[in-house]
Amino acid sequence: MDFEPKILGLLCNWCSYTGADLAGTARMKYPPNVYTVRVMCSGRVDPGFILDAMRAGADGVLVCGCHPGDCHYVEGNYKCLRRIPLTKKLLEGFGIDPRRLRLEWVSASEGGRFKEVVTEFTEQIRALGPLKLNDWAFAEQPLEVHEAA
């Protein structure tokens, strides 16, 4: 069976979620691999969400926010812009390809751009293959392992 990536999309309420909505109301066709979770701002994206999604079985995480300067909360997207590279470093440390995490700017009017971003990112994750985590990295009982050591 072909590999169908499962991707988590964290979209900001004001730009990207509306942009995704526009792609939907405009009946644009794009891969169904992105599962979206709405947050108020890309600044709300806790790196923990990304790590948790990958633990839970996501093959990639797409974070979308307003274009720089257009943030509904003035500067939330800049905070996201700083957090994502740090998270990528963290992923590298875990042995996860940082290309599995992507930050994109999609405005409320860019339904077409949302479609392109999703299509391209899905193809990239498909090429990277399924995310396989070592058993120890995100095992259910990490505390016991720690205590035993």
Residues forming the site for other proteins (CB under 8 A):
6, 8, 14-15, 18, 35, 37, 39-41, 43-49, 52-53, 56-58, 69-70, 72-76, 79, 83, 107-110
Q: What is the chain's Cα-based Rg?
A: 16
CB of 77 to other proteins, least distance (A): 10
Minimum CB distance to other proteins, residue 104 (Å): 17
CA of residue 29 relative to chain centroid, distance: 20
> C-beta of 95: minimal distance to other proteins in Å?
19
Report the 10 Å Cβ neighbour count for 49: 17
Q: Which is nearer to other proteins, 141 or 149 (CB)?
A: 141
Measured from the CB of residue 148, what is the shortest distance to other proteins in angstroms? 27
Shortest separation between residue 64's beta carbon and other proteins, angstroms = 15
- Which residue lies nearer to other proteins by CB, 104 or 110? 110
**The dihedral sign for the CA sequence 58, 105, 45, 102:** positive
Q: How far, CA to CA in Å, does 53 sit from each of 35, 58, 134, 136, 149?
A: 11, 5, 15, 16, 27
Q: How far apart are CA 42 and CA 15, in angstroms?
A: 10
Q: Which is nearer to other proteins, 16 or 30 (CB)?
A: 16
